[in-house]
Amino acid sequence: MQKTISPATAITGSISLPGDKSISHRYAMLAAIAEGETRISNYSSGADCHSTLGCVRALGIEVEGSGAEFVIHGRGLDGLQQPAAGLDAGNSGSTIRMLSGILAAQPFRSRISGDESLSRRPMQRIMKPLAQMGAQIQAREDRFPPLEITGGPLQPIEYELPVPSAQVKTCVLFAGLFAEGETVVLEPVRSRDHTEIALREFGADLNVHRGRITLQGRPKLTGCPLVVPSDLSSAAFFLAAALLVPGSRLSIRGVGLNPTRSALLDFLVGMGAKIRIPELQSVNGELSGEIEVECSQLRGGAISGPLTAALIDEIPVLAVLGAATEEGITVKDASELRIKETDRIQTVVRNLRLMGIQAEELPDGLVVPGRQKFHAASLDSFGDHRIAMAFAVAALRADGESVIRHAEAASVSFPEFWDTLAAIQSGT
Ligand code: S3P
């Protein structure tokens, strides 16, 4: 599918967005191994989170519902059944990496695979700690999906994350649920903490102190009603659109504002963005609120170290925004971007250059000078949802109609993206 995007004269309105992808995955997986019913509202509509539901069903768990409302009938820590066929994680790194922690502890063999992009993404980062816990996992070329997992009893470990990754942290904690005793994860750089919050919601005994997460194994997890806040990483595209297009004023309701995710807002405000959050609320331990934003002249900025980890999913759209700032944007310490759904350093720089925007690729980041003009161009998502959406935003500021090829990729996290964009965009 290809989408034609016209330049916008303004981005205006009040919108709500689908549920957070990270939180939806965690709720579905934990609901499956909790006892009793978990009702999840505002579950992510993205294909990734539906891959997780498909895997959960294949493991013998009843999942009722449709749209954004699901009821998952959990069968407890020992209630999963051997799947009749291989599990399919689709495009979803979160599904394969986090679910592997659960599969490694089951008294059966399973096989989990994914699409072409996922089949190129590294799995040693979860295979190593799981092997230390006693798991038997085989991978293609020892590192890529499909994974063949021979489940069995696991021992607790103390594991220091070599890369800041919430997926790896979650995998180890999920495996730790099945191990007798105390599993410890040490996090030198803080990553999103939805797993820690969700585990407590389900009744696990978990302690977090200065980057040391301690989980007691074999807890009784109990199903509970859950509401997923809207996805801040999806909101990021509309925040950027409103900041970029003169005359814009937008409000986005019920967005997840967990402090381990909201560095985006601090970074934007630090560059001069006019952003307001009239009030905050807490639901199931997760903060959320309405975000109001209006077009603002941004100064530009530098992203490195722990800030890079905190902004990792937003860097494509921040790079786009950077070209319209006064001083540009520099990103460093971001080699993780090279192993996302695409090599995002390469795909961002390629599309920026196609728009006539000067951008420099660094081994671990990129440099986008400011005060640049956006020229209409024929662009590609390269099959990556965040690249599709980031460049739809760039196209709003262009001097003519742009085309995004493989625009369907947006559905991985946000199937309603194109309709929502059309609804808030006033055109020429
Ligand atoms: C995610 C963690 C991040 C992020 C991904 C979702 C999560 O990946 O990029 O989109 O839900 O835990 P890493 O754990 O690989 O950094």
Residue found by looking up tokens 């679910």 in the block: 99
Catalytic residue among 313, 333, 380, 384: 313
- How many Cα neighbours within 13 Å face the side chain of 302? 4
- From 19, 18, 17, 99, select the one nearest 54 (Cα to Cα): 99
For the stretch 261-318, pLDDT in tens is 999 999 999 999 999 999 899 999 999 999 999 999 999 999 999 999 999 999 999 9
Q: Is the model's pLDDT at 428 over the cut of 60?
A: no
396 CA → ligand 1 middle, Å? 28
- In ligand 1, the atom with minimum distance to the C-alpha of 165 is 14
Helices (H), 45-137: 47-58, 93-103, 124-132
Q: What is the pLDDT of residues 8-63, one digit of tens each?
A: 999 999 999 999 999 999 999 999 999 999 999 999 999 999 999 999 999 999 99
Nearest ligand 1 atom, CA 170: 12
Amino acid of residue 179:
A
**Nearest ligand 1 atom to alpha carbon 22:** 11
Residue 55 contacts by C-beta under 8 Å, 6 or more apart in sequence? Answer: 83, 87, 88, 89, 95, 99, 112
Instruction: State residue 213's pLDDT score.
Output: 98
Q: 199-211: per-residue pLDDT in tens? A: 999 999 999 999 9
Unique residue bearing structure tokens 């063949």: 148
The mean predicted confidence, pLDDT, of the chain is 97
Give residue ranges with CB within 6 A of ligand 1: 22, 94, 165-167, 170, 192, 312-313
Domain at 21-227: CATH code: 3.65.10.10
Pocket test for ligand 1, best of 100, 167, 173, 311 (most atoms within 8 A of CB): 167
pTM, full prediction: 0.98
> What stretch(es) of the chain map to CATH 3.65.10.10?
2-18+229-427, 21-227
Which of 158, 205, 164, 155 has the alpha carbon at shortest distance from 185?
A: 158
Is 20 considered catalytic here? Answer: no
How many angstroms is it from 26 CA to the middle of ligand 1? 12
What is 2-18+229-427's CATH superfamily?
Enolpyruvate transferase domain (3.65.10.10)
The pLDDT tens digits of the residues spanning 137-181 come to: 999 999 999 999 999 999 999 999 999 999 999 999 999 999 999
> Per residue in 37-47, pLDDT tens?
999 999 999 99
